[in-house]
């Protein structure tokens, strides 16, 4: 689809997005004059060209963040920061339809899911608008009575954010909301595949009164060469990254040079455990949410299904029927439940993992192949009799694929769930309260969905353990990541 053939509503939305870098409150081209193409994954056609930042551009953005922070933002009134975030929440909510269409065009997910992400992303701005005016410390007497202890919370300083392509707005607001509330400034590098939602968010925040230099956005074809000098720069005080564990390890190594505070939301390999006392239909409903949200391209997506032997066949049969019933197509089309994967590389990886499992003895109940024609579509897939050693049990699939294995005992289920280097989220279905407590305590994950397939909430601490990351985003824990604690010893004698 060429630009001239694009529906008018789509072109209006695309035209409204700035395509330049946002530095020190100004929209400007990259120093090298180059651009990066943004493609529609449903068609493969280019829908926009955005500025391709150089390392010099990124350092200029950091300079703006540094100067703005020391220039007064760190001492700004909490109510002012709160009001900006609240206005941004309202502005995003008012423009939800246009923002959802923009997201679907650049990322591919169905419009309904894009609208859900807009609401979810906006909720972080509302939540942290309320937290901005509630930052406190304490004042206590020394245990000997000879003095007083005063503690205060102060903003960390200039932050660097690197956000992923799969949730292009919410992964930004989940970092920007608490940072603004705390009084930090920031440089944001969105994923090259989906930069448009972040650029539009910057425009909205600008219109809501966020001072220039507080938020700086640099888009670039290659993240490493552009962002490494910023991470190693002494003006940077914190790094927050959402993405793969492989990249996260490299960023942690880079940040160690300056002993930066880091928040890392990395890969997942979520187990979905169904015990024989669970309501099978309810478990299947939850599985569809946990597996198919964002076409399976989510770190929280259920990756491995461990089902009690007595109900495994019933669960697999009903899940396959639900998966087969989903309509595949461009996210803008009516009734579509499965959009495209983000690009050809991701499509090939998903198919490779499925074919590996089948070659090792897994049996397909549905799907198992890409969709012919333009775009990066893969059929929703359910596999049973998946053998140990299949790669999709060990690697993050990031696609609409559900491998199912049966278990015979509670201990076996827990061991299987924990048999991974990752520990982001797990899902457990059981009607037994005592079992629920036993299992959720023994599961090695930072989050557990108990009898539900969705855990994300602006008021909850999102994050994992083991190789799934460091730190938390969301809730009171989320703003603590952007605050330093200062202790003052007061003499009273």
Instruction: Give the active site residues.
Output: 265
DSSP string, 116-148: HHHHHHHHHHHHHHHHGGG---EEEE-TTSSEE
Q: Find all residues with CB under 8 Å of 459, minimum gap 6, and list them.
A: 127, 474, 475
Q: What share of the chain is helix, strand, coil (3-state, %, to 5)?
A: 40, 20, 35
Three-class SS of 321-334: HHHHCCCECCCCCC
Taking alpha carbons only, the member of 469, 429, 105 closest to residue 290 is 429
Taking alpha carbons only, the member of 492, 463, 490 closest to residue 477 is 463
- Dig out the tokens for 150 from the structure: 């005063």
Cα angle 17, 21, 25; round to 5: 95
Whether 144 contacts 489, CB under 8 Å: no
Cα angle 260, 123, 177; round to 5: 30
Pairs from 34-38 (Cβ < 8 Å, separation ≥ 24): 34/221, 36/192, 36/195, 36/219, 36/220, 36/221, 38/106, 38/193, 38/194, 38/195, 38/196
Whether 383 contacts 354, CB under 8 Å: yes
- What separation in angstroms does the CA of 199 have from each of 21, 362, 381, 395, 466? 8, 44, 35, 32, 33
How many C-beta atoms surround the C-beta of residue 180 within 10 A?
29
| DSSP 8-state symbol, 338 | B
Taking alpha carbons only, the member of 177, 229, 135, 204 closest to residue 484 is 135
- What separation in angstroms does the CA of 119 have from each of 96, 177, 295, 409? 8, 14, 18, 40
In DSSP terms, 488 is beta-bridged to 150
Phi first, then psi, for residue 262 (nearest 5°) are: -130, 145
| DSSP 8-state symbol, 5 | G
- Give the orientation angle of helix 170-182 with respect to helix 111-131, to 10 degrees: 10
Whether 191 contacts 165, CB under 8 Å: yes
Whether 239 contacts 156, CB under 8 Å: no
- Give the orientation angle of helix 170-182 with respect to helix 196-207, to 10 degrees: 30
């Amino acid at each position: 689809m060429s630009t001239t053939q694009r529906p008018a509503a789509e072109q209006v939305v695309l035209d409204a997005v700035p395509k330049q870098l946002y530095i020190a409150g100004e929209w400007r081209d990259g120093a090298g004059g180059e651009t990066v193409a943004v493609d529609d994954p449903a068609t493969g056609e280019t829908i926009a060209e955005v500025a391709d930042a150089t390392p010099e551009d990124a350092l200029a953005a950091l300079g703006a963040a540094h100067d703005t922070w020391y220039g007064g933002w760190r001492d700004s009134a909490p109510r002012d920061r709160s009001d900006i975030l609240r206005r941004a929440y309202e502005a995003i909510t008012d423009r939800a339809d246009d923002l959802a269409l923009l997201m679907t065009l650049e990322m591919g997910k169905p419009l309904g899911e894009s609208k859900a992400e807009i609401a979810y992303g906006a909720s972080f701005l509302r939540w942290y608008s309320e937290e901005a005016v509630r930052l406190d410390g304490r004042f206590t007497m020394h245990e000997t009575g000879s003095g007083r202890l005063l503690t205060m919370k102060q903003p960390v300083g200039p932050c660097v954010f690197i956000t992923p392509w799969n949730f292009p707005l919410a992964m930004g607001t989940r970092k920007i909301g608490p940072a603004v509330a705390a009084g930090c400034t920031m440089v944001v590098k969105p994923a090259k595949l989906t930069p448009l939602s972040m650029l539009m968010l910057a425009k909205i925040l600008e219109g809501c009164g966020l001072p220039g230099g507080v938020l700086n956005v640099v888009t670039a074809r290659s993240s490493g060469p552009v962002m490494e000098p910023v991470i190693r720069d002494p003006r940077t005080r914190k790094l927050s990254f959402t993405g793969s564990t492989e990249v996260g390890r490299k960023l942690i190594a880079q940040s160690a040079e300056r002993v930066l505070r880091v928040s890392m939301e990395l890969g997942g390999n979520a187990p979905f455990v169904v015990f024989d006392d669970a309501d099978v239909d309810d478990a299947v409903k939850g599985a569809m949410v946990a597996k198919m949200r964002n076409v399976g391209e989510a770190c929280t997506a259920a990756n491995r299904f461990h089902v009690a032997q007595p109900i495994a066949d019933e669960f697999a049969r009903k899940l396959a029927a639900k998966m087969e019933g989903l309509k595949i197509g461009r996210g803008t089309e009516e009734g579509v439940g499965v959009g495209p994967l983000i690009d050809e590389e991701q499509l090939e990886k998903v198919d490779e993992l499925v074919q590996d499992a089948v070659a090792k003895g897994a049996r397909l109940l549905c799907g198992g192949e890409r969709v012919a024609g333009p775009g990066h579509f893969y059929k929703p897939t359910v596999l049973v009799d998946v053998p140990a050693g299949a790669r999709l049990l060990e690697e993050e699939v990031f696609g609409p694929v559900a491998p199912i294995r049966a278990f015979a005992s509670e201990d076996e289920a827990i061991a299987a769930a924990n048999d991974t280097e990752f520990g982001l989220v797990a899902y457990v279905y059981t009607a037994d309260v005592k079992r629920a407590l036993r299992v959720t305590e023994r599961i090695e994950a930072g989050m557990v969905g108990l009898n539900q397939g969705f855990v994300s909430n602006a008021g909850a601490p999102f994050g994992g353990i083991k190789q799934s990351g460091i730190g938390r985003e969301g809730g009171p824990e989320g703003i603590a990541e952007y605050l330093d604690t200062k202790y003052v010893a007061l003499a009273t004698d």
